[in-house]
Structure 1
Amino acid sequence: MFLDVLFPNRCLACNKIIENNLIACNVCFEKIQFTHFDYFEENILKEICKTLFPVENAYALIQFEKESLSRKIIHELKYKNREKTGEILANWITERVDFKNEKPDLIVSIPLHTKKLKERGYNQLHLFAETLSEFYKIPFDHEVILRNHYSKAQALKDKKHRLSTENIFSINKNISGKHVLLVDDVFTTGNTIATVAWEILKTGDNKVSVLVMAIDK
């Protein structure tokens, strides 16, 4: 309570003091560029994924555009110690996505390398995935995939290095006959998600759908 007085929660766009469970005031919320995708219908994310690996369904919540509030939200989550933002984004998804009778069996998040996890102090996807898991009643497992190599942030890499994902990930648990919902923060080239998806697909009679916070397209 005392810290809330000294350091009140502020809107990421206009700096107005807002409630602790918000990231933007009511006025600035309208600036967030939602995709309005349908999880079950064709969209640009699904189209790109289909060129990289067999995908069932795909959904992105917001557009990751330059100098946008949407971009700032993701950067605050990843680099400014605002892990709680992952929960807020998950709640926005629950308001927009209904899995109906085709609910995935397992939620798997893209892992950080242990060194990166120690540096950041948290995986920005864990609270996000756990919030989705609680709402949809879908189990999550953060240990299905391992990241084998430490690498600098995607945002700091040039395009050539972003395209190189060979041997970065490996399967850590054998899963079979599962429809896996693979979650990540930002979809750019799709190579990271594709690499993880193939690890899941090659271990058994599995299926993969994709859900990301933002798409950079």
Structure 2
Amino acid sequence: MNNFAVSISNNYIIFAVQHTQMILDTFFPNRCIHCNRIIDADLLVCSLCFEQIHFTHFNYFKDNPVKEKCKLLFPVENTFSLMQFEEENLSRKIIHELKYRNREKTGKIIADWVTEQLDFEDQKPDLMVSVPLHPKKLKERGYNQLHLFTETLSDFYKIPFDHDLITRNHYSKAQALKDKRHRLETKNDFSITKNITGKHILLIDDVFTTGNTLSTIAWEILKAGDNKISVLVMAVDV
């Protein structure tokens, strides 16, 4: 195939993709997950509903509710939560869209919101590590809800990430479906897969509830060598 034919073929593909998107936008427009208004394809909520999101505005370097909770469980450097995770509020709906309604791209949107509020200044962590899913759960869901979120942050802040540093050893039902007693049962649930020492690790999760999952992972990393832990979550259950 000559260059002219290749060019025609590529232009046709671009046209077909754009035409398909126009049809989808016309007959299946993107809608605000809260009020159902039609919104741009790359948005999650409309501008009016965006104002209803309970952002925390925590300072990563100062004491905040996440840091206070973490300090009761493991040594922690700095912490940040983007939103408050309260009963029936919009942040809960946003994260449920991400985790349970096959909207992986929501992770990028939430990450973009984080970049507008979080400044590491000159104290960036060395590595980003998100809470892993068990392979069976990953197959069921089709994606880890934290991966695109973490990768978007990694690209913005120029901090590397490692999705394989931690593995989940046991399959379990979703945290949201567990009672409080069973949420505390995470002993031996995670393993570290690589030698790592002398690193400042930023642990990433979606919602901070009991903190037990992050604590279990943090201690695995701390035991592995002279490492430090900071925490970033999408929302904290206050």
- TM-score class, shorter-chain normalisation, is over 0.9
Q: Kindly name which structure, 1 or 2, has the bigger radius of gyration based on alpha carbons.
A: 2
TM-score normalised by L of structure 2: 0.90
Given the alignment of the two structures, is residue 53 of structure 1 paired with residue 74 of structure 2, yes or no?
A: yes
* Matched position secondary structure for 1:52: coil
Match of 1:159 among 172, 180, 191: 180
CA distance in 2, matches of 1:160, 1:185: 20
Q: CA deviation at 1:174?
A: 1.4
Q: CA deviation at 1:9?
A: 1.0
Letter in 2 for 1:165: T
Given the alignment of the two structures, is residue 98 of structure 1 paired with residue 101 of structure 2, yes or no?
A: no
Given the alignment of the two structures, is residue 83 of structure 1 paired with residue 104 of structure 2, yes or no?
A: yes
**1:1-217 alignment to 2 at 5 Å?**
1=21, 2-217=23-238
Superposed CA RMSD in Å reads 0.7
CA distance in 2, matches of 1:204, 1:48: 23
* Matched position secondary structure for 2:133: coil
Letter in 1 for 2:109: I
* Matched position secondary structure for 1:28: helix
Which deviates more from structure 2 when the two are superposed, residues 114-123 or residues 173-182? 173-182
Q: Percent identity?
A: 71
CA distance in 2, matches of 1:121, 1:6: 26
CA distance in 1, matches of 2:120, 2:52: 27
* Matched position secondary structure for 1:198: helix
Q: CA deviation at 1:88?
A: 0.6
CA distance in 2, matches of 1:139, 1:9: 32
Letter in 2 for 1:163: L
Aligned length: 217
Q: Is the 8 A contact 1:12 1:69 kept in 2?
A: no
CA deviations on 1:141-185 (whole Å, 9 max, x unpaired) are: 000000000000000001110011111101011111110000000
* Matched position secondary structure for 1:102: coil
Letter in 2 for 1:184: D
CA deviations on 1:68-108 (whole Å, 9 max, x unpaired) are: 11100000000001111100111111110110110000000
CA distance in 1, matches of 2:223, 2:25: 48
TM-score normalised by L of structure 1: 0.99
CA distance in 2, matches of 1:205, 1:177: 5
Unaligned runs of 5+ in 2: 1-20
CA deviations on 1:111-151 (whole Å, 9 max, x unpaired) are: 00000000000000000000000000000000000000000
Higher fraction of helix:
2
CA distance in 2, matches of 1:20, 1:210: 31
Letter in 2 for 1:76: E
